Chains A and B, each alone.
Chain A
Amino acid sequence: MELSKLLAVSMLSLAIAGCASSGGTTDEASNTDASAAESQTQGVPGSPDLDVVTEEQAAMASNAMLEQTTVYFGYDRSEIRPEFKDLLNAHAGYLVANPQASIVLEGHCDERGTVEYNLALGERRADTVKRYLIVQGANPSQIESVSFGEERPAMMGSDDSVMSKNRRAEIKYQ
């Protein structure tokens, strides 16, 4: 991917937080303040000076952010959680910088609740992400959305940690 243009997008905060931003795979209940704080304060390992961000570092950070293509949701919820806004901002930035790029957003649910309601809920999740990216400047024509409901779980199983990984929207570049 051509990411140099992303430098035009101001992403100093991403450079600092990006590499550590592994959050979002937790469910609503276990998404504590502690883990959120951790992802904000941890710096780029080995970074000589956080105040000076080189082109390479910024590109690396954006790259790392763009490699994250899944956002997670609370049970029966479709709002974007704050911890995923940086990730989505990075993808929006990429779409703005690369008007020829296009994505499909896949909405998914955990297995609780009815099959049909979950199909609708999965679409809502994909659409929420789509609207967010459009507000951030992406062109609507770059984004398709599709719901798979509870039919394509990321992980099999019924415990909370598994189900939290199944309540998600996946960004798929075409």
Chain B
Amino acid sequence: MIKRYIFLLLMSFCVSTQAELTIEITQGIASSIPISVVPFKFEGSLKDNMDQIVRSDLERSGHFTLLAPDDMLSLPATEDDIYFTDWRLLKQDYIVVGTVKSLPNKQYQIRYQLFDVFSETELLTQTLTGSASQLRDIAHRISDAVYEQLTGIRGAFSTKIAYVTTNPQRTAFSLSIADSDGAREKTVLTSKFSIISPSWSPDGKRLAYVLIEDDGSRVYIQHLETGKKELISAQKGINSAPSFSPDGKKLALVLSKDGNPEIYVVELATKNWTRVTSHYAIDTEPNWMPDGEHLIFTSGRTGNPQIYRVNLTSGYIERLTFEGSYNARARLAQDGRFLVLVHQANKGAPFRIASLDLMRGLLKSLTSDTQLDESPSVSPNGVMVMYAAKYNGRSILAAVSVAGDVRFLLPSKNGDVREPAWGPYLN
């Protein structure tokens, strides 16, 4: 029996609702696992329906098929209430049951169990405690634990996403943070200037981004707990494409102060700048390899954008993409085994999100039902990619698995949504 107690910390943000993302699942995998998450037993009413959040999380992952509560023959809350025969009859492989208990100090205690229906054995038990405002976090933690137990992959439901919302006229912009399912949206910055390229620090406490102001682009880092905004670079020309190093101490970014977009690294504590690239072509969109010793970046040095990798010590540059007329804005997935990038097969072909298996050299287009796919951002467990696209004439966020077999859309109720950035693990 695994027993863990998790006490949740909530980051505080200023509150303002902007886009209100919803989820539309468009494709899940055929061999998904049948699982029942039975409504949790609670005497009273709660703002957040935790079992419903868990069902949505697991379903959205594409790996599970959830039985609707209406189709359940009984609603057990503990092991003693479960008649495994019933669940086998319903062709369920796994069942999750739980109870919620009020504690004296406005806290709630949630205990849940995951069972294998065939062997009738308990696979997981956790007891979690939190306030009413933390019930949603607890639900995502339950999803993470169940997902990891059954797939062997760490869950990323508890993570945050950042994205930019704008009006159709492009005159008002806001940078918002929400749960990975789009819930609890909070705006951390509003501006009349375009906000682009939000980038999370590895600890999830800072966001770097670019404001395209009237006299040029500038890079800022905002501290999420205090809201404090720090100017990092306002050189002549372009200041853009920030990316935090894996240790959070450095920022890679693009400056054109010397007349041409080049990649630089700045040590944030010392403001010590190092120039990384030196080429008359466009070099941009740097992103760190997990080792902290290499960057991948986009360069037009062969005439059209392709992805390259540079060794920060030796300066050695290696081209990574060869297939397609436009490969740009690459991000790494699964410890650098895969690149996820914006891909155009040939001039005039649609822009797609593609994955490139760096070991096998296989490039695979992942998207097909959206247009002008761009800005891919990979979940910290390397499973899902969130990206921006045009859909029915609007800019929306969408997601696809790195394997290409799971897809969902995150249409907003208001405004155009762009520039998603999937945040790191917070626990």
Contacts and interface: CB of A to CB of B under 8 A. Distances in A.
Specify the main secondary structure of chain A where it touches its partner. Answer: mixed
Contacts of B298: 114, 116-117
Contacts of A146: 215-216
A115 B374 contact: yes
Interface residues of A, number: 24
A132 interface: no
B170 A151 contact: yes
Interface string B67-101: 00000000000000000000000000000000000
A148 interface: yes
A115 B419 contact: yes
A164 to B, nearest CB: 14
Interface in A121-153: 121, 123-124, 127, 146-149, 151-153
Given A112-B372, A113-B351, A120 B329 contact: no
B297 to A, nearest CB: 10
Specify the main secondary structure of chain B where it touches its partner. Answer: strand
A149 B326 CA distance: 17
A29 to B, nearest CB: 10
B191 to A, nearest CB: 12
A83 interface: no
B217 interface: yes
B342 interface: yes
B240 A119 contact: yes
Interface string A93-121: 00000000000000000011111110111
A9 interface: no
B48 to A, nearest CB: 35
B196 interface: yes
Interface in A59-117: 75-76, 111-117
Given A114-B305, A116-B298, 5 more contacts: A115-B418, A116-B240, A116-B254, A147-B238, A151-B212
Interface of B: 168-170, 194, 196-197, 212, 215-217, 237-238, 240-241, 254, 256, 259, 261, 282, 284-285, 298, 300, 304-305, 326, 328-329, 342, 347, 351, 371-372, 374-375, 390, 393, 418-419
